[in-house]
Amino acid sequence: MTEQKKDNTEEKILTAAQTVFIKKGMDGSRMQEIADEAGINKALLHYYFRSKQKLFEAIFSTVFNQIFPDIRNLLYSEKPFEEKLSVFIEKYIDLLLKHPFLPSFILKEINRDPEFLASIIKKQGINPSEIINLMDQEMEKGNIRKMDPRELMINILSLSIFPFAARPLMQIMFYNNDQKAYKKLLIQRKDTVKDFILNSILVK
């Protein structure tokens, strides 16, 4: 098998698994369904990925690796905290715009096996304690108002994720199911969330 053909097959499998996982969740999905969706036989699927968990982890790794190396570099850069936070929010919402399936996919799996999900995220080099320490330092310097850093992180994630996770309902309730108008809202969220968070925490 040539390297290019191998890469194409793996990409087809990951795309197929993503489709099946979104429809049926982790527990409801079957390897045979994923093989059928990818247009390959089950033996070839097992050659690439031994289990659904390996597939699940590969999908997350592929998605998160697109932005988190940049974010780690950003966290340890000399840039002002305000700029770090702004860039993080922009990159995070860009990720959701590129992969709008992600929030609902994660929400389905949170109740199924949160420890497994947390382990996958941490494997990508995301260490919440490092982010908390950074926020604590900024509070000590008097750059941002004192609060529980965990609450700030939850606020950022909630404001970013909810419009994507609740899109079917929000689009109907507030935008008369106008997909273009709602897509415009999602793009604008980068500035909306940045302004909201920064105005709530910066010491002026």
**What domains are there in the chain, each with its CATH number?**
3-61 (1.10.10.60), 66-201 (1.10.357.10)
Hey, what are 123's tokens? Answer: 């494997």
Residue in the structure block whose two tokens are 């998160």: 64
In 185-198, which positions are buried (b, 16+ CB within 10 angstroms) versus exposed (e)?
A: bbeebbebbbeebe
C-beta of residue 159 within 8 angstroms of C-beta of residue 196: yes
Single-letter code of the amino acid located at 115: E
The span from the CA of 32 to the CA of 41, in Å, is: 8
Question: How would you write the pLDDT of the chain (204 residues) with one tens digit per residue?
Answer: 555 556 689 989 998 988 888 778 777 889 999 999 999 999 999 999 998 888 888 887 777 776 666 777 887 888 999 999 998 899 889 988 988 777 877 787 788 788 877 887 777 777 888 889 999 999 999 999 999 999 999 999 999 999 998 999 999 999 999 999 999 999 999 999 999 999 999 987
Measure the CA–CA gap between 51 and 59, rounded to whole angstroms. 13
Cα–Cα distance between 130 and 76 in angstroms, integer? 10
Could you tell me the pTM of the whole model?
Answer: 0.79
Label each residue of 113-128 as H, E or C.
CHHHHHHHHHHCCCCH
Please provide residue 12's backbone torsions phi and psi, each rounded to the nearest 5 degrees: -60, -40
Residue 161 token pair: 């994720």
Measured between alpha carbons, how far apart are the two ends of the chain, in Å?
61
Q: Do 13 and 48 touch, CB atoms closer than 8 A?
A: yes
